[in-house]
Amino acid sequence: EEQLVQSGAEVKKPGDSLKISCQGSGYFFPNRWVVWVRQMPGKGLELVGIIYPDDSDTTYSPSFEGQVTISADRSSSTAYLQWSSLRASDTAMYYCARLRGSRPDVFDVWGQGTMVIVSS
Amino acid sequence: DIQVTQSPSTLSASVGDRVTITCRATQSIGPYLAWYQQKPGKAPKLLIYQASRIEGGVPSRFSGSGSGTEFTLSISSLQPADFATYYCQQYHNYPWTFGQGTKVDVK
């Protein structure tokens, strides 16, 4: 079964750093683009950015450029989303998802989501 | 960025009803529109891609149409499992953007 499994929920304080993960299985992870999508509480879906795990080619959505870092480790079939200094406004559910084919394409496999809560 | 706007934001319907959701883009996106279904506490699920192509395993009561700037998602006969929030997404121009969502609830 092709799947993406994300790391567990996190509760952090403003200013903390954080790295969450998304591990793929059941398919050849390096040559399928992976996206990160944010969903703030009670709100819609926003694309954070996209990475090609084979060479770590990464593109951020303008709203997230400089705010987060996306990376990948092809040897462990894992993509990451990280913050160096969290803000309360980063509180959200974060999903990773796989692109079906080459850019542009749709998101056909999704992780279960990682809830990030930032509160003092 | 290309904006996509869904209507209505909320739709109240009964089992067996035909339901239609509209998505409009601020510029032409050709056929590069997808529809996703999201249930509470769950990740979104792909239903329709390229405006009208149904994803494998998705019931045939779901259909999509449109091209350019106006698109629709229809459910021919609403089933209990279909009460959820639906999102359209354009993937013509990066950053790919989602509509604000349409919640289908019980009338």
pLDDT the model gives residue B80: 97
pLDDT at position A9: 98
Strand order in B4-7's β-sheet?
B4-7, B19-25, B70-75, B62-67
The H or E element spanning position B107 is: none
Angle formed at CA A70 by CA A109 and CA B33, multiple of 5 degrees = 40
The pLDDT of residue B99: 98
Q: Is B105 exposed, middle or buried (0-12, 13-18, 19+ CB in 10 A)?
A: exposed
What is the per-residue pLDDT for B62? 98
Closest residue by Cα to residue A97 from B40, B56, B51, B96? B96
The per-residue pLDDT for B41 is: 95
Q: Which residues of chain A have pLDDT under 70?
A: none
Q: What is the pLDDT of residue B36?
A: 98
pLDDT for A102 = 85
pLDDT at B4: 98
pLDDT at site A55: 95
B26/B3 Cα distance (integer angstroms): 5
Question: Which residue does chain B place closest to A115, by CA atoms?
Answer: B41
| Rounded Cα–Cα distance for residues A33 and A17 (Å) | 25
B99 to chain A, any CB pair closer than 8 A? The answer is yes
Q: Provide the number of CB pairs (under 8 Å) joining chain A to chain B.
A: 52
- The pLDDT value recorded for residue A103 is 83
Residues of A in contact with B43 (CB under 8 A): 95, 97, 110-113
In this prediction, the residues of chain B whose per-residue pLDDT falls under 70 are: none
* Cβ atoms B103, B12 nearer than 8 A: no
- pLDDT value at residue B40: 96
